[in-house]
Structure 1
Amino acid sequence: MTQATRTWTVLGLEGSANKIGVGIVRDGKVLSNPRTTYITPPGEGFQPKDTALHHRSHVLRIVAEALREAELTSAHIDAIAFTKGPGMAAPLTVVAVVARTLAQLWNVPLTGVNHCIGHIEMGRLITGAQNPTVLYVSGGNTQVIAYSRQCYRVFGETIDIAVGNCLDRFARVLKISNDPSPGYNIEQLAKEGTQLIDLPYTVKGMDVSFSGILTYIEKSANELLAAGKCTPADLCYSLQEHLFAMLIEITERAMAHCGSEEVLIVGGVGCNKRLQEMMEIMAKQRGAKLYATDMRFCIDNGAMIAQAGWEMARCGLFTDLPDTWVTQRYRTDDVHVAWRD
């Protein structure tokens, strides 16, 4: 029996930002996927040190919960996958230390997973998309991606801040709650908006820029609200519409270049129903199909790391213990996607 044909049960650990998650995957089936989120008070972001302390205090409980939900013991685990990057250094380090420790205690191999690749492989698994153009949108990343010759190639990306970071920072201006997430609460408030306020719109070829629109709305929000020219809901609605229109534009351009008939949205911001609605309109106009997932698999989770780790394990792509360091910068297109033709 070869590595590609044997059954692999992989435990994945994700902790690149404010969520610590552990998932278990066996040959294309998600057996468990618990997680917990570090939530800060309204108006505040999450700091690396505090986030790492949160992950340290919860990770072993989540590992035990994942095994219990899957009705497995450590003896059933064939490999451990962990997020190598990109992400915040301190939280990533917590996860890597736990992964190293468990791998040595359980005598199983390790594999370091690119966070974005985890999102893509989970999206492909859950939706059944075969070869989609991918819009990857999260708190720390914004990229348009397409697969070619064993590489996920980046066709366009943000040249400054990620779309999720833009939404999160605007939420602090309005003191919007971080529970369950600022982006989710902006989405709900935006549904009540009726007035579209003109905001900067910056697309540069295949790339986007969000720092200008953020600076503009940060400076003008309180003045507009104080003058009674709009409501908080109008600001949320206007920001979403502009940000998402920019993302749809570059995604459509990539689809046209690739001749793609599928588009997949992954990453935490991909849960946004308005983004999915706008993308579906564009896809239908092109005769293409939209694939998207819900909060269980869109938001950072351990199962997505386990799924990517499963693909890597089948190809014998393991990480030696001295190489299990983490990095805040790990390009999507630096990964050799050996498991795809």
Structure 2
Amino acid sequence: MVIAIGFEGSANKLGIGIIKDGVVLSNPRHTYITPPGQGFLPKDTARHHREHALSVLQQALDEAKIKPQDIDVICYTKGPGMGAPLVSTALVARTVAQLWKKPIVAVNHCIGHIEMGRLITGSKNPTVLYVSGGNTQVIAYSERCYRIFGETIDIAVGNCLDRFARVLKLSNDPSPGYNIEQLAKQGQKYLELPYVVKGMDVSFSGLLSFIEEKAPELIEKGEYTPADMCFSLQETVFAMLIEITERAMAHCGSQEVLIVGGVGCNKRLQEMMGVMAEERGATLFATDERFCIDNGAMIAQAGWEMFRSGITTEMKDTTCTQRFRTDEVEVTWRK
């Protein structure tokens, strides 16, 4: 029996979760929300994490009904992510590990998402579409590594959605992407947008520039509503993502597809992916916002897998890195 606690703070969500042999005991988080039209800056986000770290930690322990001495391993997000929030969260994890005299494991954020998705859905060996505010990748496991088959060559899909939400001055509560999703349900008129797929990679920056420039003018003229714009944006970017995911599935001979990351909660993305999977005779696996959006339990789960396979991190190596690729990690825990 191994109990792991995970600290996640790579972006605007501070999460601390506790896992006991594949069972989520607690998974509280606190989100830093900025006013409409504004993004979140690293220094302000780091301050938010510092202010709420102890209360979220106490909440995680209380909900799990365990004491510090019951925990076997401390896990934290090494990267990728925003530098200042990563460092402030890692500082808490390092302090706790030394106070409680526990081993520590540095976890790749992307692999945290994948392992959480596999745990919650029960998928065995899926092709993974990982979509969030900072990352967009199509991933499949092969020979002790999560291989990246395709990715964004500029900005992540979540970043694209968030930035367009700022143009429309949509609320950041609970998240700009969620509010775009709700508005898109009312959209009826499709505006053709640049569709950029280059082999297995996608590009969103040109599409974003196009719609940022066109939207205010077309909305003012009454030709399109904000809902139409959100609908058009979602349909286009999701179609691009499903195209490269299907190509990866065909290459791997895969019959499972798993969507992870914050954008993975989007019901329209899940619906479109479900149609593609059904046409291929494949199975779609997806989770809800409890486990898709950044959370501490996913870091605990990945760290739990690593710890059980014999991996720990020396205290001198408990650093953070803003760029930490999914395929840089040796996956020692999978057959």
Q: Counterpart of 1:246?
A: 240
In the alignment, is residue 226 of structure 1 matched against residue 220 of structure 2? yes
Number of residue pairs the alignment of both structures matches: 335
Among candidates 323, 327, 332, match of residue 326 of structure 2 = 332
Partner of 1:291: 285
Equivalent residue runs for 1:34-45 within 5 Å:
34-45=28-39
Q: Any idea what SS the aligned residue of 1:180 has?
A: coil
> Which residue identity lines up with residue 264 of structure 2 in the other structure?
G
How many angstroms does 1:242 deviate by? 0.1
1:66 is aligned, of 60, 74, 89, to 60
Structure 2 counterpart of 1:83, which letter?
Answer: T
State the secondary structure of the residue aligned to 1:251: helix
User: Could you tell me which amino acid in structure 2 is paired with residue 161 of structure 1?
Assistant: I
Secondary structure at the counterpart of residue 82 of structure 1: strand
Confirm or deny that 1:165 pairs with 2:159. yes
1:75-86 equivalence runs, <5 A = 75-86=69-80
Cα deviation per residue 1:15-42 (whole Å; 9 max; x = unaligned)? 0000000000010100000001000000
* Aligned amino acid, residue 17 of structure 1: A
Counterparts of 2:247 and 2:47, CA distance in 1: 42
Structure 2 residue 172 is the aligned partner of structure 1 residue 178: yes
d(CA) in 2 for partners of 1:122 and 1:78?
19
1:305 to 280, 299, 308: 299
Q: In the alignment, which residue of structure 1 is the partner of 2:23?
A: 29
1:147 is the counterpart of 2:141: yes
> Post-superposition shift, 1:316?
1.4
Secondary structure at the residue paired with 1:53?
helix
Deviations 1:199-221 (A, max 9, x none): 00000000000001000000011
Task: Supply the distance in 2 between the matched residues of 1:26 and 1:150 (Cα, whole angstroms).
Answer: 24
- Which residues of 2 match residues 202-221 of structure 1 at below 5 A? 202-221=196-215
The whole-number CA distance in structure 2 between the counterparts of 1:53 and 1:73 is 27
> SS state of the match for residue 177, structure 1?
coil
Supply the AA of the counterpart residue of 1:191. Answer: K
Partners of 2:310 and 2:8 lie apart in 1 by 21
Equivalent position SS for 1:336: coil
How far is 1:299 from its partner? Answer: 0.2
1:251-266 aligned within 5 A: 251-266=245-260
TM value normalised by structure 1: 0.98
For the residues of structure 2 that align with 1:14 and 1:99, how far apart are their CA atoms?
9
Q: Which residue of 2 aligns with 1:4?
A: none
Equivalents in 2 of 1:62, 1:225: separation in Å?
42
Q: Which of residues 51, 54, 58 in structure 2 aligns to 1:57? A: 51
Give, in whole Å, the separation in 1 of the partners of 2:102 and 2:50: 22
Identical-residue share of aligned pairs (%): 72
- Structure 1 runs of 4+ off > 3 angstroms? none
Aligned to 2:41: 47
For residue 271 of structure 2, the aligned residue among 269, 274, 277 is 277
- In the aligned structure 1, how far is the partner of 2:105 from the partner of 2:133? 24
Instruction: Name stretches of at least 5 consecutive residues in structure 1 with no aligned partner.
Output: 1-6
TM-score (normalizing by structure 2): 1.00
- CA shift for structure 1 position 137: 0.1
Q: Deviation of residue 177 (structure 1)? A: 0.3
Equivalent AA in structure 1 for residue 239 of structure 2: A
Cα distance in 2 for residues equivalent to 1:182 and 1:333: 29
- Deviation digits for residues 196-244 of structure 1, max 9, x if unmatched? 1100000000000000100000001100011111000000000000000
Query: Which deviations, in whole Å up to 9, do the C-alpha atoms of 1:149-190 show, x marking residues without a partner?
Result: 110000000000000000000000000000000000000000
Give the secondary structure class of the aligned counterpart of 1:69.
Answer: helix
Give how far 1:118 is off. 0.2
Q: Provide the rounded CA distance (Å) in 2 between the counterparts of 1:19 and 1:99.
A: 16
Q: Runs of 5+ in structure 2 lacking a partner? A: none
Q: Which residue identity does 1:287 align to in structure 2?
A: G
The CA distance in 2 between the partners of 1:262 and 1:338, in whole Å, is 22
Superposed displacement of residue 273, structure 1: 0.1
* Structure 1 counterpart SS, 2:115: helix
Which residue number in structure 1 is paired with residue 128 of structure 2? 134
In the alignment, the residues of structure 2 paired with residue 53 and residue 228 of structure 1 have an alpha-carbon distance, to the nearest angstrom, of 42
